Amino acid sequence: MALINIRHLRCNIFGRISALYKKWFGDQPSTTTEAGLQLQIISRDKHNISRKQISPNAIKVLYRLHKAGYKSYLVGGGVRDILLGLDPKDFDVATDATPEQVKKLFRNSRLVGRRFRLAHILFGREIIEVATLRGHHVEDNAKQSKTNTSGRLLRDNVYGSIDQDAERRDFSINAMYYDISDFSIRAYGGALQDLEAGRLKLLGDPETRYREDPVRMLRAVRFSTKLDLHIDESTKVPINRLAPLLKDIPAARMYDEALKLFFNGKAVANFDMMQQFDLFEPLFPTLGQAIADAPNGSADRMAQLVMKATDTRVMQDKPVTPSFFYAALLWYPLSERAHEIANEAGLNIYDAHFAAMGDILEQQCQRISIPRRHSTPTKDIWQLQLRLERNQGGRALKLLEHPKFRAGYDLLLLRGEIEGGRVESLANWWTELVEADEGQRRKLVRKQQPGRKPQNRRRRKPRSNDSKTKTESKARG
């Protein structure tokens, strides 16, 4: 059988590889697990996954576990992405060693997680995540497994075999294991067939799996857009109805999920699909409500512009920051709240904006926990929107030196594109100032200075000669 060469395939050509799939995998025998899950084992001579394609640090972890007598596998996205010709960002390891046993083997490790205990092995900035193979829940042992009334897993520290672990995986395309002991691939649940068909499908009953972990609904969106997969109908149907379950997910976990959704070059596609499945409002309640109240309104247009700008910067390998992302997304909910406070409390709009900042961030952080290192700059960017309106005199030149000026200016440009009129004129003036040299900047600033009224100075009358003579006489005495 010919050697598999999926390295040069890309995720947007799934429909063209049917014949090749049959050539590579068609004659591979399959068995079933005790739970009835299909299993295919592809030997080393039938695939082209090489250790050179795997992170050297992940290889170190796999071999040390293997030499210590434990089973160890590269699992999930690392296997999937290599088969699809992509460069994996993460290399996760599964083993039959418990987290405590992993920690004893690796001094550079730490144990994390309450819901599911994991070992993180640190190699500088790279983290290799090691998970113990999961098993089926035992209802009478609350210390190992626990669910709430809606079916969400609160604790999931039940260990088992590789077959049981595969049954616990979310999507079939993630139920693939690269065995370091013989370099074979173990593919469960029709993983290879789903890859060939460009299909994203949950393992098990979709509603049960979503209730166990509602974040799987967001992962369905992310995998679909990232890998150009269509979501299987059975996997798709329950999402709109179960979307409100995301409100109960810890806000700290949702912060990481938001980064994966919007900072990987697929923000526009993810935003559109999240709107389609009613998944956006549970993450952004004030913004989601504003968009629902006024489709194609200012808040909606801002969200679309921010997503597009974020994708552009990612594609150009430019930095993207959560502080600007949240400042821009939440600007119109902030403005609306500021006007409400101004009317209710009789405050001026400047003080009302300061009060509204706390309200909007507090509401947002209940769903997505924004660390202070990002929330503080977000407030700075909001404050700059008011300060940029005061573009008269030397204060305009001083604002150019503000550490968050560029972010504030970028938000003003987006506002000008949406609002037009006075805001657009203001944005254009600041653009002239930013692009001008020092001499031109002084001229622009002088034009903005209010005209000075001429001062009426009183002219002193010249003294007469007689007065001068009298003064000299007195002096001589």
Residue type at 89 in one-letter notation:
K
Cβ–Cβ under 8 Å, residues 357 and 333: no
End-to-end, the C-alpha distance of the chain in Å comes to 131
Helix or strand holding residue 38 (H, E): strand 38-42
Q: What is the largest CA-CA distance in the chain?
A: 132
Residues 6+ apart with CB under 8 A from 128: 55, 57, 58, 61, 91, 92, 93, 120, 121
Residues 6+ apart with CB under 8 A from 448: 391, 392, 393, 396, 429
How far is it, in rounded angstroms, from Cα 244 to Cα 405? 38
Residues 6+ apart with CB under 8 A from 113: none
| Active-site residue flag, 90 | yes
| Active-site residue flag, 170 | yes
| Active-site pick, 92, 163, 179, 300 | 92
Instruction: Measure Cα distances from 382 to 325, 350, 378, 427, 466 in Å.
Output: 12, 11, 6, 15, 70
| Active-site residue flag, 311 | no
Q: 195: closest CA among 27, 35, 55, 9?
A: 9
For 232-330, where are the alpha helices, taking DSSP H only?
233-236, 239-242, 251-262, 267-276, 285-293, 298-315, 322-329
Nearest 5°: phi and psi at 178? -100, 115
Q: What SS3 state is found at 155?
A: strand
Q: Where are the beta strands (DSSP E) in 148-234?
A: 153-156, 176-179, 185-188, 199-200, 230-231
- Could you tell me how many residues make up the chain? 477
| Active-site pick, 156, 163, 170, 311 | 170
How far is it, in rounded angstroms, from Cα 59 to Cα 93? 10
Q: What SS3 state is found at 131?
A: strand
Catalytic residue list: 90, 92, 170
